[in-house]
Amino acid sequence: MQLAVSRCLGFILAILYFPVLITLGFQRRVTNFQKYWEKAGRPLIRCGWHEDIIASMYRYSFRNMCVMASESKDGEIITSGLKVLGFKVARGSSSRGGSGAFRGMLKAFRDGWNISLMVDGPKGPRRVIKPGILLLASATGTPVIPAIIVVKWCIRVNSWDHMIIPIPFSPSVELNGRPIMVPRNLSENELRYKLQELENEFKNLDKRAEGVFVRRRVWNLAGG
């Protein structure tokens, strides 16, 4: 009974919020590499920060995208809503069922699905990259595309990730960074190096984000 309620709640939330999401005016600023990769029809692996998850729901809905959700009660609600929006969902987390989620995403990729993973989720710490995205890239032989979404008008809530909630009709821009190439059979030293490389690329994206909008309005409820 509880499972049915969670799924119903997720369905209702997705239906209610999707009309808000589709008002966002998105622009894309992607690398030539990604344009080539998409034109070739090859699935890609994208990663972002957990704070951008709501804006990402619209940007990647109905675009053949597989994402991850935890096996918790909240994860059941999220999974139900994501499926309404056309996502494939792999269930698990870093603390519970993570290997199952990894296998699910690996299978989805091999079946032709794109992958999008919030690399500091599902519970943080905020903006600390977890290695799963690089292990997945190593297993598939596919580069990782770091990305952030800049929303001109939004609310930043008081959650562990300082999540961004876009205001309806807000202009928004997706910034894609340089692809991170990951070797097969990743060693521990290579993993540490690639984690640092990915972190540096996110810092570059943050610098680029500062110049996207001349005037940006963020109602900050996170206290910092």
pLDDT tens figures, 17-37: 777 777 888 888 887 777 777
Q: Is the pLDDT of residue 5 over 80?
A: no
pLDDT category at 38 given cuts 50, 70, 90 is confident
Would you say 50 and 120 are in contact if contact means Cβ atoms under 8 Å apart?
Answer: yes
The answer to whether the pTM exceeds 0.85 is: yes
- For residues 67 and 79, what is the distance between their CA atoms, to the nearest angstrom? 9
Averaged pLDDT, 200-205:
96
At position 79, the amino acid (one-letter code) is: T
Would you say 87 and 14 are in contact if contact means Cβ atoms under 8 Å apart?
Answer: no
Structure-token pair, residue 170: 């807000």
- For residues 64 and 88, what is the distance between their CA atoms, to the nearest angstrom? 8
pLDDT category at 95 given cuts 50, 70, 90 is very low
Q: Tell me the pairing of strands 164-166 and 153-156.
A: antiparallel
Q: What is the pLDDT of residue 66?
A: 95
Q: What is the pLDDT of residue 97?
A: 41
Would you say 200 and 180 are in contact if contact means Cβ atoms under 8 Å apart?
Answer: no
Model confidence pLDDT, tens digit, residues 79-92: 888 888 889 999 87
Q: Lowest-confidence range among 67-71, 153-157, 220-224?
A: 220-224
State what percent of residues in the chain have pLDDT above 90. Answer: 54
